Structure 1
Amino acid sequence: LRVVAVDGTLVPDPRRRYPGRGAWVHPDIGCLRLAERRRAFPRALRSAGALDPAAVYSFLT
């Protein structure tokens, strides 16, 4: 699942249409939690602050 950062929020991009830098994660809650715990999204997306993953969690459930 590709995710992008939009205004400090992680947004799922299943059709790969959003512009900008994206990061990939398995479409699994466990993988999302692990990536969040390792702070992989701010690093991969080159974001200065924390990103809210609520939209991705709701997409996966």
Structure 2
Amino acid sequence: MEFHIENMTCGGCARGVTKAIQTVDENAKVIADPPNRSVKVETQATQQQIIDALSEAGFPPR
């Protein structure tokens, strides 16, 4: 799955996004791309679980 995260603008944000996703699925593969404000996720978690975790961490996806 792929998300657009408007307020992910730097490496620190990318680490925060990755950490949030991995609280739901510690084995998730996360590829964050801050310049394009996108994140690709390979996970066993549901899309809604990832959306909820990102929103709770302050990185609401679109």
Range class of TM-score, shorter chain: 0.3 to 0.5
Q: TM-score, normalised by structure 2?
A: 0.32
TM-score (ref. length: structure 1): 0.33
More helix as a share of residues: 2
